[in-house]
Each structure stands twice: as structure tokens, then as C-alpha cells.
Amino acid sequence: MIKENIELVQEKIRLACQRAGRQEQEVTLIAVSKTKPLSMIEEAYRAGMREFGENKPQELRDKAKLMKEPVRWHMIGTLQSNKIKYVTGTACLIHSVDSVNLAKSIEKEASKKDLIMEILLEVNIAEEETKHGFSVDELLSAIFELSQLPHLKIRGLMTVAPYTENAEENRIYFRKMKELLVDINAKNIDNVCMDTLSMGMSSDFEVAIEEGATMVRVGTGIFGERNYLQ
Ligand SMILES: *Cc1c(COP(=O)(O)O)cnc(C)c1O
């Protein structure tokens, strides 16, 4: 089942790239394995997946410890300062950096461990009250400030688009994200060269790819529905 799901998602990625005139290799598929057991992650690994996303720091750390195969872990969920230690040195990329203070705490932790942590800045592109992330207005000054920190590397931007039944409704937000990335890169800020746009989930990753996503985060579409009550 997982193998078939992955193949289906990969085929949709191929077609979306074709429609947009993009190369398939420009898009990384991240299998979002939150709440799912290691056995399912291993099954996805055998089907070729090498990138996995988790939204809870301890769950990411625990699964990373148990997983024998070499894979890359992405931290995609809300991160509290006291839990940064679980993901620095374990995750290859933190997608969900939503404040300057959090970024500074990551800098401190990365400095302690003598490593450089790659991060994305989460943008609340639809200005939803319930969502985390920088507003478009705050973003530039945050990037100026964070680009000075020696143990952080800002790789790009991430967003969680609004929940909708109709993926087309999110096209405008994905397009704005791409424009934002291009605009910021055009400013030639020292130490800032952003190449990553993490956007698109099971319900809207094809539209996100058409608008320039370089990473899509797909959970349900690969592993099936999640049961949060178990
Ligand atoms: C759970 C989650 C996803 C995957 O969602 P699906 O709709 O199951 O594909 C993607 N991004 C983030 C930040 C998530 O928390």
C-alpha cells in the first residue's frame, strides 16, 4: 500500500513538473511520518524514500535513533526553545522557525554542539490567526538579523497554506511565497542565498510545485489517515 502510494505521489510530482516546465530533480518529496510507527517508515524506505518529516522533537529524535538505515529527518512542526536540543544534530533541516527568538535559541544550541544548523523561516502567508510564522512585513528585518549568526544557515522559506477542499484556492499563496523568495534573494544580503521553498501537502502539493515548491511534505497521501487517539 505504502509503495503504491509513493509511486502515485511521485507520478503526480512528475506531471506537475512537466506542466510547469520544471525538472523533477528540483523537487524533494518528504514523507511526513508523524504518529506512524517505525515499521511504516521502513516500508517507505524500502520503496525508495530517504527524506522523512516529523512535527514533534522527541518523536523525531526517538525515531532517528531507532532507524538503522541512513535517512534525512526534517523537523516541520512547532518548536519550543527547550526542545531544540532534540533536533540539532539529528534533523538535517528545521522548516518551522517562526520567530527571531527561536532562531537565536537554535543558534545557541548549534554553537554548543559546534555545528551549523540549516533552517527555513516559516511564513504565515495567508495571515491566519491560528497559524505560526513570520508576517511578510517582519520577514526582511528578521533575515538581516539572523544572517549574522554563525551557526545558522537560512536555506529558504516554508509555509503551511490554509486548509481547503480546493487546492486552486492556495495557488495565490504559493505564488506569493515564490515572489517573496525571489525578492529577498534580489537584495543580495550578505550570507543569504535562499534556494528552498517548502510548501504543499497531500491536498495541494501539485499546485505548490506548479508555483515553485522545491520541497513538498506529504503525510496522508503516503501513509494514510492519521489516528491521533491511539
Ligand atoms: C502533518 C503535516 C504535513 C503533512 O500533512 P498531510 O496533509 O497529511 O500531507 C505537512 N506539513 C506539516 C507542517 C505538517 O504538520
Q: Which domains does the chain have, with CATH numbers?
A: 2-223 (3.20.20.10)
Nearest atom in ligand 1 to 201's CA: 9
Q: What is the pLDDT of residue 229?
A: 61
The three-point CA angle 57-30-14 to 5° equals 170
pLDDT tens digits, 99-144: 999 999 999 999 999 999 999 999 999 999 999 999 999 999 999 9
Q: Dihedrals φ, ψ of 55, to 5°?
A: -110, 0
Number of the ligand 1 atom closest to the C-alpha atom of 203 = 7
For the segment 34-63, what is each residue's pLDDT rounded down to a tens digit?
A: 999 999 999 999 999 999 999 999 999 999
Ligand 1: does its nearest atom lie under 6 Å from the Cβ of 77? yes
160 lines ligand 1 (CB under 6 A): yes
Confidence of residue 228 (pLDDT cuts 50, 70, 90): confident
Cell numbers representing residue 169 in the block = 484556492
Give the per-residue pLDDT at 35. Answer: 96
State which of 201, 209, 222, 228 you would mutate to test the pocket of ligand 1, scoring each by most atoms of that ligand within 8 A of its C-beta. Answer: 201
The beta strands (E) that lie in 56-184 are given as: 72-75, 91-97, 117-122, 152-158
**How far is residue 65 from each of residues 30, 31, 33, 70, 71, measured CA to CA in Å?**
19, 18, 15, 11, 11
